[in-house]
Amino acid sequence: MKYKKYKIEEIKKNIAELAEGMGQLTIMEVCGTHTTNIRKYGIQELLPDNIRLISGPGCPVCVTPQKDIAAAISIADQDDVIFTCFGDMMRVPCGDTSLYSLYERGKDIRIITSPMDALRIAQDNPGRQVVYFGIGFETTAPLTAALIESADEWGVQNLSVLCAHKTIPQAIMQLLKSGSNIDALMCPGHVASIIGADAFSFVANELMLPAAVAGFEAYDIMAALLCIVRMLRKGERKCVNMYPRAVTEYGNREALSLLYKVFEPCDTLWRGLGEIKGSGLRLKERYRKFDAAHKFVLHLDDIREAEGCLCARILCGKSIPTDCVNFGRGCTPDRPMGACMVSSEGSCAAYYRYGGEK
Ligand code: SF4
Cβ neighbors of 30 (< 8 A, separation 6 or more) are 55, 56, 57, 58, 168, 171, 172, 185, 186, 187, 188
pTM above 0.75, yes or no: yes
Q: For the domain with range 1-346, which CATH number is right: 3.30.565.10, 3.40.50.11740, 3.50.50.60, 1.20.1740.10? A: 3.40.50.11740
Which tens digit of pLDDT belongs to each residue from 230-268? 999 999 999 999 999 999 999 999 999 999 999 999 999
| Partners of 27 in the β-ladder | 53, 184
Residue 56: what pLDDT? 93
| Domain definitions of the chain by residue range | 1-346
Tell me if 338 CB under 6 Å of ligand 1: yes
Q: How many Å lie between the centroid of ligand 1 and the Cα of residue 349?
A: 9
Tell me if 309 CB under 6 Å of ligand 1: yes
Report the residue among 66, 314, 320, 322 best suited for mutation to probe ligand 1: largest number of ligand atoms under 8 A from its CB: 314
Give the residue, by CA position, lying nearest to ligand 1 atom 7.
Answer: 338
| Partners of 25 in the β-ladder | 51
Tell me if 133 CB under 6 Å of ligand 1: no
Buried b (16+ CB within 10 A) or exposed e, 179-197: ebebbbbbbbbbbbbbbbb
Which tens digit of pLDDT belongs to each residue from 157-215? 999 999 999 999 999 999 998 767 899 999 999 999 999 999 999 999 999 999 999 99
Closest by CA to 59, choosing from 337, 336, 349, is 349
Give the integer Cα–Cα distance in Å for 289 and 280: 18
Closest by CA to 209, choosing from 246, 188, 180, 166, is 180
Residue 33's pLDDT band, with cuts at 50, 70 and 90, is: very high
83 has pLDDT over 80: yes
CB of 99 closer than 8 Å to CB of 85: yes
Tell me if 269 CB under 6 Å of ligand 1: no
Residue 4: what pLDDT? 59
Which tens digit of pLDDT belongs to each residue from 86-133? 999 999 999 889 999 999 999 999 999 999 999 999 999 999 999 999
Q: How many Å lie between the centroid of ligand 1 and the Cα of residue 329?
A: 10
Residue 357: what pLDDT? 58
Give the integer Cα–Cα distance in Å for 238 and 209: 7
Give the integer Cα–Cα distance in Å for 312 and 56: 10
